[in-house]
Chain A
Amino acid sequence: MKSYDETINTVFDRIGEYKTAQKRKKKIITRTLLPVCSVVLITVIGICVWQSGILKSEPPVTLEDSTVIGEKDYIEPDELDNSQEEQISSSSYNSTSQTDDTQPDIMQIPGENDMVDIIGSVKVDGIQYLQCSTDATLFTADKYLGDAKDFEGSYKQFSNDFNSMANELYTVKESSNVMMIKLGNGGTVILGRVGEIIVDGKTYFSTQWVKNEFTVDKYLGKAEDFELIEVPYRESFIVPEDEIWTVQENSNILFIKKDNGDILVYSIWE
């Protein structure tokens, strides 16, 4: 049997050992946890940054998105000369100038001199047609109108690029508001008539402008009273029951009022 003092010494020795072991455990845990937490934190931050898309590079502009099919896969910045770059900076839908002025600019139609992108465009009998991404096989070529280079638009403007090719312009059987161009390289481009409604001889198209910037003025009638431009497979925001209103601030802007009270802002091409 141990004496009291021996028991006391043994008990305190064991308590001391326990405390030392606890300290060692704490040290090990701290040493292990710190790097593990750092790695986890870095991983989480990395995932967040990756998910936010900050690191993603801009994809090149492809011709599929914009212009004549089949010529090139993308546009090199060097290929645009200075004048074209200037045109880009004063693009038809210039949001900067819109914020500067109280009244938004009227949308500029891409024309012979101010073609800022190489979206295919032609003007036939004064009517502007723009390339759309509709499936070309949905349409059948009808009447041959001539070479697209002979009409105002991108094919004439960039005729140097198309010199070696004949780009045949056709009407289509399915719609009078659609044109077809059969490219010399075998590709086909579909172009739809610009705008959705014609009011007093002016063609209006949908904008994303805010209605609060304008004051409603005069009621012109229902949409069905005017000529609606229907392009097959292109979404139109106007239905015959919609009401057409002018606005006080600008004679080239219309309000299209829907049944449910929603108002869309429409502007002309200039």
Chain B
Amino acid sequence: MDNGASSYRRFRENGDESGLIEIIREYRDGLIFYLNTFVGNIHIAEELAEDTFVLLGTKKPRDKGKGSFKTWLYTIGRNLTLNYLKKHSKKTEISLDDCPELISDEESLEEAYIKEERKITVHRALKKLKPEYRQVLWLVYFEDMKISQTAAVMKKSVHNTETLVYRARKTLKSQLEMEGFVYEEL
């Protein structure tokens, strides 16, 4: 599978369902974590990730091939999430602390997807940052996206994204230091 593009082409052009299954297995968890940086609720993020795959299966949008498949997929997920947030902006948000089920689900997914203990600590520290910082750091440090790809997903210029990464990293570092951690990769 070449980053999902050929799997999607197989599904889109030949109706090969295994193509979409491969995409779901490959990108589901990362997409959920990314969308979680917007909504702050792992279950909603999961539903939105599901919506993203359903959209691929129903509307079958054409990947223009400008960037990687992952960038394109995350952009679709981001757009769906922003629409969701517009519709639900007036609804009361549930605090993570008030819902232990959410926390345990997220933690188990963290262990499965992120694996490294150090990175899990960083990921938890991300939650205390503002959403924009969370998003950009997730894409750069956890999804290993280049600045240009991150900029494409977030619909910002490369320069803006670089600035955002710098500020987000600085804030995260202070946050970790406050909690007694030293993370040299930041």
Complex CA gap A238/B24 in Å reads 95
B58 and A18 form a contact (CB under 8 A): yes
Q: Tell me, rounded to whole Å, the shortest Cβ–Cβ distance linking A23 to chain B.
A: 13
- List chain A positions with a Cβ less than 8 A from chain B: 1-2, 4, 7-8, 10-12, 14-15, 18-19
Contacts of B126 in A (CB 8 A): none
Residue A7 contacts which of B17, B28, B57, B108 (CB distance < 8 angstroms)?
B28
Q: Tell me, rounded to whole Å, the shortest Cβ–Cβ distance linking A108 to chain B.
A: 82
A11 and B24 form a contact (CB under 8 A): yes
Q: Tell me, rounded to whole Å, the shortest Cβ–Cβ distance linking A113 to chain B.
A: 89
B57 and A11 form a contact (CB under 8 A): yes
In the complex formed, the residue of A with least CB distance to B32 is A1
Query: Contacts A7-B28, A11-B53, A12-B57 given; 11 further ones with Cβ under 8 A?
Result: A1-B43, A1-B108, A1-B109, A7-B46, A11-B24, A11-B54, A11-B57, A14-B57, A14-B58, A18-B54, A18-B58
B46 and A8 form a contact (CB under 8 A): no
A8 and B21 form a contact (CB under 8 A): yes
Contacts of B58 in A (CB 8 A): 14-15, 18-19
Complex CA gap A15/B25 in Å reads 17
Residue A11 contacts which of B20, B43, B108 (CB distance < 8 angstroms)?
B20
The 9 closest A-B pairs by CB, nearest first: A15-B57, A18-B58, A1-B105, A11-B53, A14-B54, A8-B24, A4-B25, A8-B21, A11-B54
Complex CA gap A4/B24 in Å reads 8
B162 in contact (CB, < 8 A):
no
Complex CA gap A4/B112 in Å reads 12
Given contacts A1-B109, A4-B24, A18-B58, contact A12 B50 (CB under 8 A): no
A1 and B17 form a contact (CB under 8 A): no
Complex CA gap A11/B20 in Å reads 10
B42 in contact (CB, < 8 A):
yes
- List chain B positions with a Cβ less than 8 A from chain A: 17, 20-21, 24-25, 28, 42-43, 46, 50, 53-54, 57-58, 105, 108-109
Could you list 30 A-B pairs, sorted by A, with CB under 8 Å? A1-B43, A1-B46, A1-B108, A1-B109, A2-B46, A4-B24, A4-B28, A7-B24, A7-B28, A7-B46, A7-B50, A7-B53, A8-B21, A8-B24, A10-B50, A11-B20, A11-B24, A11-B50, A11-B53, A11-B54, A11-B57, A12-B20, A12-B57, A14-B50, A14-B54, A15-B54, A15-B57, A18-B54, A18-B58, A19-B58
Contacts of A2 in B (CB 8 A): 46
Q: Tell me, rounded to whole Å, the shortest Cβ–Cβ distance linking B35 to chain A.
A: 14
Complex CA gap A14/B20 in Å reads 13
Complex CA gap A177/B46 in Å reads 105
Q: Tell me, rounded to whole Å, the shortest Cβ–Cβ distance linking B56 to chain A.
A: 9
Q: Tell me, rounded to whole Å, the shortest Cβ–Cβ distance linking B102 to chain A.
A: 10
Contacts of B17 in A (CB 8 A): 12
- Highest count of chain A CB atoms <10 Å: which of B20, B43, B50: B50
Q: Tell me, rounded to whole Å, the shortest Cβ–Cβ distance linking B101 to chain A.
A: 10
Q: Tell me, rounded to whole Å, the shortest Cβ–Cβ distance linking A119 to chain B.
A: 79
Q: Tell me, rounded to whole Å, the shortest Cβ–Cβ distance linking B7 to chain A.
A: 13
Q: Tell me, rounded to whole Å, the shortest Cβ–Cβ distance linking A235 to chain B.
A: 74
Q: Tell me, rounded to whole Å, the shortest Cβ–Cβ distance linking A49 to chain B.
A: 46
Complex CA gap A15/B12 in Å reads 13
Complex CA gap A7/B27 in Å reads 12
Contacts of B108 in A (CB 8 A): 1
